[in-house]
Amino acid sequence: MRLLVVEDEKSLRDDITKKLRLDGYEADACGDGNEARELLAVERYDLVLLDINLPGADGMTILREFRTVNYETPVLILSARSEITDKVEGLDAGANDYLTKPFSVEELLARLRVTARRLAMMQANNANESVFRNGKLRVDYAAGSAYMDEEELHLTPIEYKLLCLLSQNVPISQKYRKSSDTYLYYTKNLGQELG
Ligand code: CA
């Protein structure tokens, strides 16, 4: 399982990353919002740990942007903000879980195991079905069409293909990633299409 740790507090970032690796995870780490954006645009992660207050771009903005192109990858927010409205905002923006600082890294690892199990179950269910559903989105692989709120989306073939790949959570093939500009262009377009 490959994770991205986005946290600008170096000691916390190093502590989390070290323990994740000891626990058998592959982990990339960065402390800047813009760097996180770039990594999320070109790399594939199974899970993202995301701080909210960051230099560059803040975590909530990163999360909202990421969710326009990726509905699948779980995002766990790490934040010093403990206000209930902030939690709701994070969950509304598409976070899967929320940890308030200070937290123990052991608690974080326990939450990760739960999220990983949920993810494995979801992937197993999706693999058995010819239809993918997530929120308002439905992809009918057999019919070769996609729907939002049961309204058919008018996607170009490459956008449809990207949506299938994203919904199946498989790495985007080199063909589509040859130029990351092209990849960004299509995923951005697709994001707009999906609203
Ligand atoms: Ca921070």
How far is the centre of ligand 1, averaged over its atoms, from the C-alpha of 52 (Å)? 6
How far is the centre of ligand 1, averaged over its atoms, from the C-alpha of 98 (Å)? 14
Distance, in Å, from the CA atom of 112 to the CA atom of 75, rounded to the nearest integer, reads: 10
Of 162, 158, 134, nearest in space to 148 by CA? 134
Q: Which residue has the tokens 């790495």?
A: 171
How far is the centre of ligand 1, averaged over its atoms, from the C-alpha of 171 (Å)? 29
C-beta of residue 51 within 8 angstroms of C-beta of residue 59: yes
How far is the centre of ligand 1, averaged over its atoms, from the C-alpha of 71 (Å)? 24
| pLDDT mean across residues, the chain | 83
How far is the centre of ligand 1, averaged over its atoms, from the C-alpha of 155 (Å)? 38
* Burial grade of 150 (CB within 10 A; 0-12, 13-18, 19 or more): exposed
Q: Is the pLDDT higher at 156 or at 33?
A: 33
How far is the centre of ligand 1, averaged over its atoms, from the C-alpha of 174 (Å)? 34
What pLDDT sits at residue 127?
63
Is residue 171 predicted with pLDDT exceeding 60?
Answer: no
pTM over 0.75: no
How far is the centre of ligand 1, averaged over its atoms, from the C-alpha of 54 (Å)? 5
How far is the centre of ligand 1, averaged over its atoms, from the C-alpha of 103 (Å)? 14
Question: What residues pack around ion ligand 1 (CB closer than 5 A)?
Answer: 8, 51, 53
Condensed to tens digits (0 to 9), the pLDDT of residues 39-84 reads 999 999 999 999 999 999 999 999 999 999 998 888 999 988 766 7
Highest-pLDDT range among 25-34, 108-117, 159-168: 25-34
